[in-house]
Amino acid sequence: MLEALFDLIPKIPKHRRYWFVRTNAGAYYNDFISGNFIGVGWNNITLDSLKDNIPLSDKVEEKYPKERKNYVARQINIIINEMKKGDVVLIPSYNSTYIHFGIIEDEMVYEEEIPNEIEDIENNSHLTFNYEGMCPYKKRRKVNWIKERKKEMLDPQLYRIIYSQQTISNVDKYADFIDKALYDFFIKNDVCHLILHVRKKGDIKGSHLVTFMSDLLSLTELNKMDDEEVNLKVSVQSPGTIELLGAVPVIVISTFLLIGILGGKAKFLGAEINTPGLLGRILEFKKNKQIHSLLKKIDNVQEARVGENADNLNVHLPQSLETIMRQLEQSNTSGTNNDQP
């Protein structure tokens, strides 16, 4: 069963890159999302025109003499050559109230047919209402949009991205924060990351937080090898997160030790576990020989303390974990049904 769970944990590609793409002050935000794309302008520089050996900056100077040729050439080059299938894209809404995250779906850039009225909308202002919010950019990349987050719910480190004035910015240096905004239980570079959500509002008592973190680390000590390192990262602004990261088997088993301790009181981002299927899945994990033997090593005092501090901090388990457990539940049910004559 643990092996089946490993297969369902999201794996982030090692060489994935990250891009922030502006939406003309939010004007094209909805069109990008509904059309499943991102794009850049400078339509007079077509894909066909780039097939010769003339430098792109020279083409920009010819077609757009008033533009900064190196800047424009750089933006066009990014969407054509640097963006790859599987890269992450972030786009902002008006006032950056929301940030939408997506994954580039295709290796190739494409050109969209655009009505002449949209391309020359400045000289067709009477048509503005008809085409309001419609993006005039021809050069595009297909994107699968996967999550929208309110800016206020993101790590403050990501606020720096929003103030970039470039059409497309590379934001690889914020990869750790972006990954955590997208996933709360994942594997990257052979390291497993478990994100616990601290939802307590207002002041947090240091004794509750420090003791809970200490107990988390002690859970990992039960099942790790001598040379395996486990780290904790805390970003608690009420609400905030506690991140446990280390070797994949250690973090996965520690996760289910934690669920085993919390039992039916375990909470995901949605609500407390209250469906027979999920409760049954927890009981099934607790019966696993490896989990069961480790749970026996935890004394009653520590078990009670973990549960109490989880309540004090209003700790929620990863929503990704709930999704995984439901997938396991469905696959188990499906397998049972397939066994029927």
In-domain check, residue 7: no
In-domain check, residue 251: yes
Report, as an integer, the average pLDDT of 184-206.
91
In-domain check, residue 73: yes
- 262 plus 300 within the same structural domain: yes
In-domain check, residue 190: yes
Q: What are phi and psi of 233, to 5 degrees?
A: -125, 135
Cβ 109 vs Cβ 80: under 8 Å: yes
What confidence score (pLDDT) does residue 213 get?
93
- 128 plus 255 within the same structural domain: no
Asked which of 126-135, 194-203, 294-303 is least confident by mean pLDDT, the reply is: 126-135
DSSP H helices in the chain: 2-8, 29-35, 56-63, 69-77, 116-119, 159-162, 175-182, 206-221, 248-262, 276-287, 289-295, 300-312, 319-338
Angle 9-267-245 from CA coordinates, rounded to 5°: 40
In-domain check, residue 8: no
What confidence tens digit (pLDDT) does each residue in 79-117 have?
A: 999 999 999 999 999 999 999 999 999 999 999 988 766
Band of pLDDT at residue 240, cut at 50, 70 and 90: confident
What confidence tens digit (pLDDT) does each residue in 33-45 have?
A: 999 999 999 999 9
Any idea what the CATH number is for the domain that residue 21 is in?
3.10.590
What confidence tens digit (pLDDT) does each residue in 217-238 have?
A: 998 988 877 778 899 999 876 6
Asked which of 122-131, 189-198, 307-316, 323-332 is least confident by mean pLDDT, the reply is: 122-131
Write down which residue in 165, 182, 199 finishes a domain: 182
Residue span of the structural domain in which 217 resides: 185-335
In-domain check, residue 83: yes
What confidence tens digit (pLDDT) does each residue in 245-257 have?
A: 999 989 988 888 8
Cα 37–chain centre separation: 18
Q: What is the DSSP letter of 12?
A: E
What confidence tens digit (pLDDT) does each residue in 120-153 have?
A: 554 555 445 455 678 889 999 999 999 999 998 8
pLDDT at 3 over 90: no
In-domain check, residue 122: yes
What confidence score (pLDDT) does residue 255 get?
87
- 99 plus 65 within the same structural domain: yes
Please tell me which residue, 336 or 304, carries the higher pLDDT value: 304
- Dihedral sign for Cα atoms in the order 105, 185, 10, 160: positive
Max intra-chain CA distance, the chain: 76
- What tokens appear for 143 in the block? 């994107």
- 177 plus 201 within the same structural domain: no
- As for how many domains the chain has, the answer is 2
H or E segment at 163?
none
- 38 plus 111 within the same structural domain: yes
What confidence score (pLDDT) does residue 73 get?
97
- 204 plus 324 within the same structural domain: yes
- 118 plus 201 within the same structural domain: no
- 65 plus 149 within the same structural domain: yes
Give the Å distances, CA to CA, from 85 to 38, 105, 115, 145, 296: 13, 5, 28, 13, 46
* Among 159, 119, 152, 156, residue whose Cα is nearest residue 135: 119
- What tokens appear for 111 in the block? 């050109």
pLDDT at 271 over 60: no
- 167 plus 194 within the same structural domain: no
- 208 plus 167 within the same structural domain: no
Write down which residue in 149, 182, 215 finishes a domain: 182
Write down which residue in 148, 167, 182 finishes a domain: 182
- 41 plus 57 within the same structural domain: yes
- 219 plus 297 within the same structural domain: yes
In-domain check, residue 42: yes
